Structure 1
Amino acid sequence: MKMLAGRLHLKERGLRMETVDVPEPGPDEVLVKVTAAGVCLSDVHLIEGGLTPRLLDGDVVTLGHETAGIVDRLGDRVEGWKPGDRILLQAGQRDRRGTVYTRGVDYDGGWAEYAVARADTLVAIPDDLPFEQACIIPDAVSTPWAAITATAQVKPGDAVAVWGVGGLGAHAVQLLRLIGAAPVIAVDPLAPARERALALGADVALDPSEAGTIRELTGGGLAVALDFAGVPAVREQALTVLGRGGKLVLAGIANQPVTISSDSFFNYLKLSIHGHYGSDPEHVEELVRLARRQRLDLAASISDVLPLADAPAAVERLQRKEGNPIRLILRP
């Protein structure tokens, strides 16, 4: 049995839509019929060469770390699931030594008609949560959620600013509002992104040229600055508007040095810089519970749905930021 898949050939950094064999699930795995898969800026970085798989066995991989679908077939040792179950897939898995392998990076992902997943990486989703929304919870929503709740440990009433209101930052604004951060400030050079931030719950949306007003807006500076832009200038700017004990969390990828312009200022205010990457399984499960209880609405996050065969076009749209998308979704 054959299927269509979006395969990245790393030697030439080429994305090709290819017909390949449907994978066979191992004893502890499940074959999933993919119904929706997100297109992330990380996928673009992989294609362009800004990211390289560290743990991939070989030099070709099916992209897609944001995946939802229906259980199709069970491995011999799998219990607790049945064909027809609606699920999303965690964006990665750990081996026995604790090494994290990322779906669609270190092993084949969801830009395909079918995907194999270890049974312990499946998360059940409610019937009223559309697959297009469910598939983006791992990464697009769970990464900012983990950055906010685990890395930054934002508390209700904390003044927080988000730099970069794209696929991750837009959800950060929404989630900060959900947990009671105040004020929530969005910083983005694009007017449509600022308008979107306000619609999602930001109290203030600023152009980067206006960021100098943040200290006044917050009455002394930010408790937390979240960088989802991955731009060195953003980090330098954010450090200047942190309050005493403030944290800068780096969730965007710049592949550039982090510069502290004044160590005396940094030390006097007892500031700190924290790296952040991805999320843990419990963060995805928390977000599914919030969605089940109607506390989290992701309908506005789905910018467009395209056929799987149009994956290269979706990548080009994201590269150009055409329409300023939050998430483009591929539907096999």
Structure 2
Amino acid sequence: MATMLAGRLEISSRKFDVREVPVPEPGPGQVRIKVRAAGVCLSDVHLIDGTLTPLFLETPEVTLGHEVAGEIDAIGPDVPDRWREGQRVALEAGERCGQCPNCVRFRDPCLQVRTRGVDYDGGWAEYALATQHTLIPIPDDLPFVQAAIVPDAVSTPWGAVTGTGQAQPARPAGVWGAGGLGAHAVQLLRLIGAAPIVAVDPLEAARERALEFGADLALDPGDPTLREQILALTGGSGLDVAFDMAGVPPVREQAVSCLGLGGRLVLVGLTPKPLTVTDGIGFSYRGQRLLGHYGSQPGAVEQLIELARYHRLEWSRSISGTYPLADAATAVEHLERKEGNPIRLVLVP
């Protein structure tokens, strides 16, 4: 039996290691991908440390990795002819459950989306399986390391900016947390014409990076004049929309205080901590809203790949480092400690 390296997490013990496992064979409607790049996300860190737990995993352990790009290596039965061996693809970060009422009735969205590398085996491996519905062709001039991060690090803020948050041209927007998601949120807000854009991060290097990515103002959350500076920048009106990319409770309270009339706070960063709004009366009086967000809408990854195809977007600045698959644990440690203030670290099998 052929074997391969894979980064496996045992859920009960949260033990993670890279070891030899059988190479998977594609079933009906599936292809096998030779993985060329796989992103390392804070969600992976939180799965390992126990902060996050899979909702739908049916096995005691799972191969991590929901940001994946590579080449089709083998094709199973019932896969349409448009997919061929050697084709360059990125993989959607999740797929429909096929069982909920919306899936049975062919409606969007699925009510119980399964996440790759969480609810079923992902791409921290030399080979990975994917259903043909989750394949996104990528252009020859888009490097695998960049394509791999699109299905989460880029598409999640894209979904938050254009979908949940409904950011608008010439309207003020704020981003709290300028790391892996936040830096891309700034880039994407700039792309759609939001203005002004404010980035908030405690790290000076992250603030400088946010300015390079397109922010008009970058502030330290510990600055006692933060709210006053944002109000001054927006002519006293406050932010139209704010995005919590950090998943830190104090961030949310601060962001709410900077919202204007009808302002929206979009919760993108994940945390198990409770949600609180100190000034509940003011929040209601000003018609403000808290909006949860997870992942992206159908078609988001295709949109971003098309923008990259026509050179409206590129992510060379987003790749902070690459690691061999065998060193996945080291990559996780470096991300957890934020060594070098990374946007995205990528495993290269």
User: Residue 272 of structure 1 aligns with which residue?
Assistant: 289
Residue 255 in structure 1 maps to residue 272 in structure 2 = yes
* 1:186 maps to which of 190, 199, 202: 199
In structure 2, C-alpha distance between the alignment counterparts of 1:186 and 1:95, rounded to whole Å: 36
The CA distance in 2 between the partners of 1:110 and 1:284, in whole Å, is: 17
The percentage of aligned residue pairs carrying the same residue is 60
**TM-score with structure 2 length normalisation?**
0.94
Select 1:214's aligned residue among 215, 227, 230.
Answer: 230
- Distance in 2 of aligned mates of 1:248 and 1:82: 43
- SS of the equivalent of 2:282 reads helix
Work out the CA distance in 2 between the residues paired with 1:58 and 1:279.
26
Q: Superposed, which structure 2 residues align to 1:41-80 within 5 Å? A: 41-79=42-80, 80=82
Deviations 1:91-121 (A, max 9, x none): 0000222321000000000000000000110
Does structure 2 retain, via aligned residues, the 8 Å contact 1:45–1:51? yes
Unaligned runs of 5+ residues in structure 1 are none
Residue 123 (1) aligns with residue 125 (2): no
SS at match of 1:57: coil
Q: Does residue 307 of structure 1 match 2:324?
A: yes
Equivalent AA in structure 2 for residue 179 of structure 1: I
In structure 2, the partner of 1:167 is 180
User: Which amino acid in the other structure matches residue 94 of structure 1?
Assistant: R
Alignment match of 2:122 (pick from 72, 85, 109): 109
The CA deviation at 1:193 is 0.2
Write the distance in 2 (CA, Å) between the matches of 1:112 and 1:230: 28
- Aligned position for 1:287: 304
Aligned with 1:296: secondary structure? coil
Q: State the match for 1:92 in structure 2.
A: 94
Structure 1 counterpart SS, 2:34: strand
Name the CA distance, whole Å, in 2 between partners of 1:95 and 1:58.
16
The aligned amino acid for 2:76 is G
Residue 43 (structure 1) shift: 0.0
1:155 aligns with 2:156: no
- Please give the TM-score of this superposition, normalised by the length of structure 1: 0.99
Runs of 4+ in 1 over 4 A off after TM superposition: none
2:232 aligned partner, one-letter code: E
* 1:217 aligned partner, one-letter code: L
Secondary structure of the 2:243 match is: strand
- SS of residue in 1 equivalent to 2:79: coil
Q: Offset of 1:209 from its aligned partner?
A: 2.5
Letter in 1 for 2:247: G
Instruction: Note the C-alpha offset of 1:280.
Output: 2.5
C-alpha distance in 1 between matches for 2:57 and 2:257 = 40
Three-state SS of the structure 1 residue aligned to 2:71 is: strand
In structure 2, C-alpha distance between the alignment counterparts of 1:64 and 1:247, rounded to whole Å: 31
> Is the partner of 1:135 in helix, strand or coil?
helix
Q: Distance in 2 between matches of 1:264 and 1:7?
A: 48
Q: RMSD value over aligned CA atoms?
A: 0.7
Instruction: Give the aligned partner of residue 20 of structure 1.
Output: 21
Q: Note if contact 1:90-1:281 (Cα within 8 Å) is conserved in structure 2.
A: no
Conserved? CA contact 1:29–1:117, under 8 Å: yes
Give, in whole Å, the separation in 2 of the partners of 1:155 and 1:280: 18
Please state how far the C-alpha of 1:296 moved relative to its aligned partner: 0.4
Find the partner of 2:260 among 238, 243, 247. Answer: 243
Give the letter for the 1:136 counterpart. I
**Contact 2:163–2:297 at 8 Å: present in 1 too?**
no
| SS of match in other structure, 1:136 | helix
What 5-or-longer segments of structure 2 have no aligned partner? 101-109
**1:262-310 CA distances to partner (integer Å, 9 max, x unpaired)?**
1221122111110000112311111001000100010000001110000
Q: Deviations over 1:49-85 (max 9, x none)?
A: 0000010011100000000000011111111100010
In the aligned structure 2, how far is the partner of 1:300 from the partner of 1:56? 34
